Chain A
């Protein structure tokens, strides 16, 4: 007998490639999901290669803007300073010895061994089989321990009530959120909004395991690095040029 699918497995293993939404009255919707022919499996590992030598500062700004536009964050009216969410941000670093200055986009690194998932008491922080790290907004109790554990300052806590949310990206006051690698796009065969916002080869998105993929082939050829590689988290997001 096949295992009955619960909500959690559903989120983890299906990709809502086709969603039929029927509005039967104001505020009430019936949503039906079709089972995907292409389920999420560990045969894939989604990843991203960021070549900072090919990214200008305005490219990175475009990535941030695209993420905001796609996922609907950044319009919070009450949150101030560090209370504002930041799923992706531009960081500028200077080498202490040489003075070389680099700018790079920083977001959830989609670790294979994510500390946020380890520490989450309720399993709200989770890693899909294909390597995408997500927060189940229904299980998150807002304890913020994942934010303490994340080595990349990649997570945000929703500090206020929200309105006009994107249909594909529900968010909620009192829960934690971060980059989803735009799973809603990826599951339909697309690429994350930030990657799409960059023209040229500055950001390559794809399946790290697929020997034919561009990201796999490029990573075989060039020198790349993981941020805080010492932590041995095996990140899905890789950088070159730092």
Chain B
């Protein structure tokens, strides 16, 4: 059966309320940027020890999720799973939207965002950051071409090739994002190339959670049929990805505990009463990993959409907490400048960071930008299949 794609009507009160609501967050974010850039970063909670604060947490979270959101399309075109094919267009869109939101936050938190042109024209090819600028821009181009191949009937025959290119590109991109931390040789909290595959696993998990929530919301609010076949498949996939992230987290930390030089920083997460310890255990592990796994795999919740939505939401919240522990916690732990010595004065204490309101608004604004991009584009272009009922999504499905 041919899949028919159709724009959403987008004329309901609910639609306009959603756009207005997201618009308020975006305006608040822009106002915050003006305030922070006008005064300087002293109005934020950031300082010379916590140089990357809450905006980076949101920015990197969104950028990681962006590459992962493309996975649904990749499964269809690269691995040729037919069930995912109708979801491919939305997958590409969510990927681009999340990346746009993440990059907006990243750029607007620069000390000199007005010098963005410098970042586009002066490249240090030894810098993984410079590579990431190329990878992010390339991702926009490749995914846009991929979407065009999917939309334009005459170009459909190239969509698999474009999909493979996009899939390879996104793996390199997330490797690049992970390497931002993995290559920081001076910091014991990072400095491990396992960061790269760990970030790829995180991208699978966060990106799919975003995708599931956007898919469920758009079908519910546009009153289109969405069958259990699709959702159950996505649910199982999410479970695998959440477990994969947990695996990498465990391996990473066991490695740190084993190495004497990294033991202190590992212990920060295991036996102190700092905020980072609590966020790690209660936020990242319990709320963001174990509870979602329970909600996904426990037989009682089988087929329950609200529970799947809740699990996806918890994966996202847990993801933000994970990025917070990684980025802020990793910086809060002092550099080991003098192995074998204790620093008494001048440096060395665990820094506590308190995010300011403008930083929070900027971060949330990035999410709002991503969502508003999706909302507008599904209104103006046919991204969503008219129906994802079981008999459409899977012709061999027997009720």
- B180 neighbours in A (Cβ, 8 Å): 145
Report the separation of the CA atoms of residues A152 and B187 in the bound assembly, to the nearest whole angstrom.
10
Interface size classification for chain A:
35 or more
**Nearest CB of B to A145, in Å:** 5
- A231 neighbours in B (Cβ, 8 Å): 185-186
- In the complex, A227 has a CB within 8 A of chain B: yes
- In the complex, B49 has a CB within 8 A of chain A: yes
- A121 neighbours in B (Cβ, 8 Å): 119, 122-124, 127, 129-130, 133
Of A81, A115, A119, A173, which contacts B111 at CB under 8 A? A173
- In the complex, B128 has a CB within 8 A of chain A: yes
**Nearest CB of B to A173, in Å:** 5
- A124 neighbours in B (Cβ, 8 Å): 122
- In the complex, A85 has a CB within 8 A of chain B: yes
**Nearest CB of B to A8, in Å:** 9
- In the complex, A120 has a CB within 8 A of chain B: yes
- In the complex, B258 has a CB within 8 A of chain A: no
- B127 neighbours in A (Cβ, 8 Å): 118-121, 145
Shortest Cβ distance from B39 into A: residue:
A160
- A106 neighbours in B (Cβ, 8 Å): 337, 346-347
The answer on a CB contact under 8 Å between A83 and B346 is: no
- In the complex, A144 has a CB within 8 A of chain B: yes
The answer on a CB contact under 8 Å between B342 and A93 is: yes
Report the separation of the CA atoms of residues A82 and B345 in the bound assembly, to the nearest whole angstrom.
14
**Nearest CB of A to B8, in Å:** 38
- A76 neighbours in B (Cβ, 8 Å): 42
The answer on a CB contact under 8 Å between B342 and A140 is: no
Of B41, B128, B343, which contacts A119 at CB under 8 A? B128
Task: Label chain A's interface by main secondary structure.
Answer: loop
- B298 neighbours in A (Cβ, 8 Å): none
**Nearest CB of A to B130, in Å:** 4
Of A85, A139, A147, which contacts B122 at CB under 8 A? A139
- A96 neighbours in B (Cβ, 8 Å): 340-342
The answer on a CB contact under 8 Å between A174 and B111 is: yes
Shortest Cβ distance from A82 into B: residue:
B47
- A97 neighbours in B (Cβ, 8 Å): 340
Report the separation of the CA atoms of residues A110 and B183 in the bound assembly, to the nearest whole angstrom.
20
With known contacts A79-B42, A95-B341, A121-B119, A141–B347 Cβ distance under 8 A? no
The answer on a CB contact under 8 Å between B111 and A122 is: no
Report the separation of the CA atoms of residues A119 and B187 in the bound assembly, to the nearest whole angstrom.
14
**Nearest CB of A to B237, in Å:** 34
Contact bitstring A90-117, B, C-beta under 8 A = 1, else 0: 1111111100010100100000000101
Shortest Cβ distance from B183 into A: residue:
A119
- A145 neighbours in B (Cβ, 8 Å): 127, 129, 180
The answer on a CB contact under 8 Å between B133 and A147 is: no
State which residues 121-163 of B face A: CB under 8 Å.
Answer: 122-124, 126-130, 133
With known contacts A159-B42, A174-B40, A140–B185 Cβ distance under 8 A? no
**Nearest CB of B to A55, in Å:** 14
- In the complex, A78 has a CB within 8 A of chain B: yes
The answer on a CB contact under 8 Å between B110 and A142 is: yes
State which residues 24-83 of A face B: CB under 8 Å.
Answer: 76, 78-83
The answer on a CB contact under 8 Å between B129 and A153 is: no
Of A81, A90, A95, which contacts B345 at CB under 8 A? A90
- B133 neighbours in A (Cβ, 8 Å): 121
The answer on a CB contact under 8 Å between B124 and A161 is: no
Known: A83-B41, A120-B127. 17 other contacts (CB 8 A): A79-B42, A82-B351, A96-B340, A96-B341, A97-B340, A121-B119, A123-B122, A142-B115, A147-B48, A147-B51, A149-B185, A152-B337, A157-B41, A159-B40, A159-B41, A160-B41, A175-B111
Please give the residue numbers on chain A whose beta carbons come within 8 Å of chain B beta carbons, in ascending order. 76, 78-86, 89-97, 101, 103, 106, 115, 117-124, 139-145, 147-153, 155-161, 173-176, 227-228, 231, 242
